[in-house]
Amino acid sequence: MKTCLIVIDAQESFRHMPFSSERDSAAYLEHQNALIAGCEERGIPIVRVLHSDGPAQADNPFARESGMVVPIQGLRAFSPAATYYKRRHSALVGTGLDVWLTEQGIGRLIISGIRTEQCCETTTRHASDLGWSIDYVTDATHTYDMAQPDGSPLSAAAIKARTATVLSGRFATLCTVEQALARGA
């Protein structure tokens, strides 16, 4: 089955948000970069998806005018097979990515990027519902601590565990970098 790596929202914008933290970012980048390198070595196409939304002004980190809708510092440079800009959580809404994947004969997606529980999870669920087989590489996703509705803290590790739990066996196959590369070859 033809495979494609999707790198979702691995962009500088997040470093300029009030919730941003560098904790765990080095581990994320190590895994994300290993996944990119492995896909390059195997000839697996890589798609870059960047989030661009909100007011088109320089002080909005998610506006192209800010100069921050660019690959995150530390991300391995790669030549994407395609690049898409999205305005919604799912990379498949309004971008044309679904059409490109179909035209390329892609049957399996490897999902990675930022944020684990938002754009990566949403894209995974959406793609699964549309019929793609999904390898979700939790270690090659990144997120940040959040506050629950009652104000109590929810750690990034707990968010990643929850996402893995709800996706596993229903929407995706959970994989390490090595497993995803072995399955995608």
Interval 11-25: pLDDT, tens:
999 998 888 888 889
Query: Mean per-residue pLDDT for 71-85?
Result: 98
121: nearest Cα among 157, 171, 85: 171
High-pLDDT (> 90) share of the chain, %: 94
High-pLDDT (> 70) share of the chain, %: 99
> What pLDDT is stored for residue 1 in this prediction?
85
- Which residue is listed with tokens 């995974």? 124
Query: Mean per-residue pLDDT for 122-134?
Result: 98
Residue 104 to residues 1, 16, 108, 164, Cα–Cα distance (Å): 12, 35, 11, 28
Vertex 43: Cα angle to 40 and 46 (nearest 5): 60
Note the pTM of the prediction, 2 decimals.
Answer: 0.96
Query: Mean per-residue pLDDT for 79-88?
Result: 98
pLDDT at 184 over 80: no
137: nearest Cα among 10, 2, 1: 10
**Reduced to 3 states, what is the DSSP secondary structure of residue 27?**
helix
Preceding omega of 115 cis (within 30 degrees of 0): yes
What tokens appear for 148 in the block? 């629950």
Backbone angles phi, psi at 154, to 5 degrees: -130, 115
For the chain, what is the mean pLDDT?
96
Q: How confident is the model at residue 185 (pLDDT cuts 50, 70, 90)?
A: low
Arch. (CATH architecture) of 3-184: 3-Layer(aba) Sandwich (3.40)
Residue 121 to residues 43, 58, 75, 76, 109, Cα–Cα distance (Å): 25, 28, 20, 22, 13
Instruction: Please give the Cα distance from 166 to 11 (Å, whole number).
Output: 25
> What pLDDT is stored for residue 20 in this prediction?
85
Sign of CA dihedral 150, 151, 155, 156: positive
pLDDT at 7 over 80: yes
